[in-house]
Amino acid sequence: MAGRFGLPEPDAFTRTYWEAAAQGRLLIRRCRACGRAHHYPREFCPRCWSEDVAWEPASGRATLYTWSVVHRNDLPPFADRAPYVAAVVDLAEGPRMMTEVVGVGEPSAGEMPAGELSAGAELEVAFREGIPVFRVVPGPVGG
């Protein structure tokens, strides 16, 4: 087993999602029966159980729901990234998504200090190695 731990293994169903992410596009699933969007990708609607669901592009906008700064994680490849911000975000389309917030933590590297994160912060999708992550949308200069 020589696979890399930090990358997903697409299957026949999720291949569409991961191929889009590799191209810098975030997809979600929307139920055609009840109209609700959901994430993570499933073959049925978790609200009404309909199997009439389809892929659609997401806007890439989200708000920060909750987060935790991970200072230690010995599993590859996370040890090299610590500290990092593990987060749950509310996508503009409605569903919640587990992700990472990037560009946070090292003021010396031009990043926002993790202590300045706040619930409800506006985020936008970015992609790292074909995996969706989020970054804080910069506010207007001068406050």
Q: What is the pLDDT of residues 76-134, one digit of tens each?
A: 777 787 888 999 999 999 999 999 999 886 665 566 776 789 999 999 999 998 999 99
What is the rounded average pLDDT of the residues 40-69?
96
Comparing 47-51, 75-79, 132-136, the range with the smallest average pLDDT is 75-79
Please list, residue by residue across 13-41, b when 16 or more beta carbons sit within 10 angstroms of its beta carbon and e when fewer do: ebeebbebbeeeebbbbbbeeeebbbbee
Q: What percent of the chain has pLDDT over 90?
A: 64
Q: How high does pLDDT run on average in the chain?
A: 88
Provide φ and ψ at 129, rounded to 5°: 55, 40
Distance CA 115, CA 23 (A): 32
Nearest residue to 64 via CA among 22, 107, 102: 102
Is 1's pLDDT higher than 50?
no
The token pair that represents 73 in the structure block? 């994680």
